[in-house]
Structure 1
Amino acid sequence: MYLTQFRLNTARAGARKLLSSPQAMHAAVMSSFPEPPATEGGASSPRVLWRLDRNARSEVRLFLSSPARPDLTHLVEQAGWPAVATPEAPGWKTYDYGTFLARLDKGSTWDFRLTANPVHYARTKKGQKSTKRTAHLVPEYQLQWLLDRQDRGGFRVLEKPPERRHVQHGDEYQCVVREQRNLSFHKRGNDDRVQLLAVTYDGRLEVTDPDALRALLTRGLGKAKAYGCGLMTLAPTPQGS
């Protein structure tokens, strides 16, 4: 497994085109591999996952998890800084993700970031038996969507110390909804418009089942994985925090 990071040059038209269309970004991500990974789409196998982190208006980073090592030369040429790229510093960084995943231990704590598509199934009309997939729009329910999946996902979202909590629901957890964005685009060859809600969570977790968490980190969580949802990444918890 590999984890790749690429910073987009938001001043370029190519970058703005990719950022405006999850469909275009998905195609660019999949073009990073000479051949589509053999495990792509497998329910029990690692797959290609990606996420956009908007840390500032001019700082947008693409994170890419994949079973095969990607080549992002085309993204550097279209949406990066090709003039300063060298063989030693091609414009992106790829890390050995498998070694990191193998070291995950039960009981260890990590800061995490996840962009997901939190949805539920609801009846559109009173008394109607059929249901429709609908996005959770309220942060309270978006957080609960994540909490409902933590046991199966091999992690536990940590709670705040009592003295740091407030009265509103959800504030007892070390997790916040950092951002939510409405994504709307057309699929190729389809006139119907796809509409998705992408929600980004920042928080802190404890590993309860390393194997289950490794599966989540490499297969993704929730729906809309092809369009920038489902990828959770971990970072060391700062000492003393």
Structure 2
Amino acid sequence: MTLWLTRIIPDPRSRDARRDNAGAVDLHHRMMSLFPDHVADDEPRRRLGVLFRSESTPAGDQILLQSARQPDLDRLPTGYGQAATKPLTPLLDALRPGLHIRYRIAANPIRKPGRTTRELYQLKAVVPLQGSAADDWWTRQAESSGLNLDTLHSSPLDAAQGHRHSDQRPVKHDRVLFEGTAVITDADRLRTRLTDGIGKGKAYGCGLLSIAPHRRPQ
């Protein structure tokens, strides 16, 4: 499977870009609008392999969009910002056990307590994790994704939230940014998790794992 990575640098003067940046639901619909309407079947995001992440960098805000089909950037509103797409095939083909990489992911670390635990401690059905509990969650996810972590830095992010367009039900996914270095233990498993995404909230900007080769200091 070919994966495509699109980098969008929104223009802060664009009203559409500002609106999308303010809500995860609006940004989800914007990303899905870059693909032909006829693929909008039962699970369009999953079928298209769409994952995205909005983030702030020293150079400004950007949106990273990963997909199994090349997006049509002409579908962005006029003046929305700069955008470019490239295939990820060279990166995926180069993955092998023992390769050191840098990683970044904005994920939704959660746990789902059993009924007895929920009643005993008056917990909700889904409990967002923070601090060391979130780090432990990511460590387990990384290991099951074919990675052995060397370093891990985590920081809380604003929640991905908004209201569904169909019924105005609220959407909220707490997010934590995990980044650091790791060594690949299972390249095939890693390719699968890169393609599928990790954790919950993938439709709203969570779960996109980004990696790049890393050369360790001698």
TM range (shorter): 0.7 to 0.9
- 1:133 counterpart (126, 130, 133): 126
Shift of residue 101, structure 1, vs aligned partner: 0.5
1:144 corresponds in structure 2 to 136
Partner secondary structure for residue 105 of structure 2: strand
| Structure 2 Cα separation of the partners of residues 76 and 37 of structure 1 | 20
**What does 1:162-177 align with in structure 2 at a 5 Å threshold?**
174-177=151-154
Partner of 1:157: 149
Distance 1:201-1:191 versus aligned 2 partners, 3 A rule: same
**Percent sequence identity over matched residues?**
25
Q: 1 or 2, which has the higher helix percentage?
A: 2
* Unmatched segments (≥5 aa) in structure 2: none
Return the alpha-carbon distance in structure 1 between the equivalents of residues 155 and 14 of structure 2: 26
* Equivalent in 36, 39, 45 of residue 36 of structure 1: 39
Please state if 1:24 is matched with 2:18.
no
How much is the aligned-residue C-alpha RMSD, in angstroms?
2.4
Structure 2 distance, partners of 1:125, 1:31, is 42
The answer to whether the aligner puts 1:236 opposite 2:208 as a matched pair is no
Structure 1 residue 65 and structure 2 residue 66: aligned?
yes
Could you tell me whether the CA contact under 8 Å between 1:30 and 1:36 is conserved in 2?
no
* Equivalent residue number for residue 117 of structure 1: 108
SS in 1 for 2:137: helix
In structure 1, runs of 5+ residues without a counterpart are: 81-90, 159-173
Distance in 2 separating the partners of 1:37 and 1:4: 20
| Equivalent in the alignment of 1:48 | 50
Partner secondary structure for residue 203 of structure 2: helix
TM-score for the superposition, normalised by structure 2? 0.87
Please give the residue correspondences for 1:162-201 in structure 2 after superposition, counting only pairs within 5 Å.
Answer: 174-201=151-178
SS at match of 1:150: helix
Which one-letter code corresponds to 1:102 in the other structure?
A: D
Paired AA for residue 199 in structure 1: V
Is the CA contact 2:7–2:64 (under 8 Å) kept in the aligned structure 1? yes
Asked whether the equivalents of residues 98 and 185 of structure 2 are also in contact (C-alpha less than 8 Å), the reply is: yes
| Number of residue pairs aligned between Structure 1 and Structure 2 | 211
What is aligned with 1:203?
180
User: What TM-score do the two structures reach when normalised by structure 1?
Assistant: 0.79
Secondary structure in 1 matching 2:119: coil
